[in-house]
Amino acid sequence: MTSETIVKAISLILAPVVMITACAILQNGLIAHYSGISNHLRSVNQEILSLSEIDLSSSPSRAAHLHDLEHLLLPDLFHRNHIVHTVLEWVYTAVLVLIVDMFAIAIAIATGISWLSQVVLIIFLLGVGMLFWSIMLVSHELHTSHRSLQIEVHHACELCQPKRRNQRH
């Protein structure tokens, strides 16, 4: 193998390396987001458990809040958690595909087989496509996270309204 061939191999391998770096940056943010959703899920579950232990017959607003937590927020958080988990799986798989692409590039250059260059391109595009799909799923999750926030804020505002009315009189 000549030095020109080695330099060419290294320069061709850099494209998947850059994509792997982009995946790693995305993974770091997603892991933090996944952890945040998981922590929120645990705190909502804890709130449900604490509300379940008290008598709610004298407090219809707390009973409604428990219902909202159990039937609206908790399922929504589970759904969001599942989406982010799926996205993380897709991103890790994209990294694996891009690593395979780096090996395919090296093999294509070392052997000089012409049809391998097409395989290399297909593998690379597969990895990029997986990353694209991951970003589409995260965009969907961001939309649903807004809905979760609306559920929580709406309930908090309803709890404040009686206090505000009483303060005006």
Instruction: Give residue-wise pLDDT tens across range 136-159.
Output: 999 999 888 877 777 777 766 665
The per-residue pLDDT of the chain, averaged, comes to 86
pLDDT at 68 over 70: yes
Question: What mean pLDDT is predicted for residues 118-127?
Answer: 92
pTM of the model: 0.78
Q: Is 56 helix (H, G, I), strand (E, B) or coil?
A: coil
Q: Place 135 in a pLDDT band, splitting at 50, 70 and 90.
A: very high
* CA 43/CA 37 separation, integer angstroms: 10
Q: Cβ distance 16 to 124 under 8 Å?
A: yes
Q: Place 93 in a pLDDT band, splitting at 50, 70 and 90.
A: very high
